[in-house]
Amino acid sequence: MQTSNTAALSRRRLLSRAAMATGVGAAMNLLPSSMPP
């Protein structure tokens, strides 16, 4: 029970970290194109 619980926690943490990284990457890609040169 405890092992599966920790595994789910680490998986959720990894997912949130990946989502945050992708969100930051998308924002960085969108910012320069939307901003005037």
Q: How many CA atoms lie within 13 A of 14 on its CB side?
A: 6
Distances from the Cα of 27 to the Cα of 3, 15, 19, 33, angstroms: 36, 18, 12, 10
Question: 9 is in which domain, residue-wise?
Answer: 1-37
Rounded-to-integer distance, Cα 37 and Cα 33, Å? 9
For residue 22, the model assigns a pLDDT of 92
For residue 36, the model assigns a pLDDT of 64
Confidence label for 25 from pLDDT (cuts 50, 70 and 90): confident
Predicted TM-score (pTM) of this structure: 0.53
Q: How many CA atoms lie within 13 A of 31 on its CB side?
A: 6
Number of domains in the chain: 1
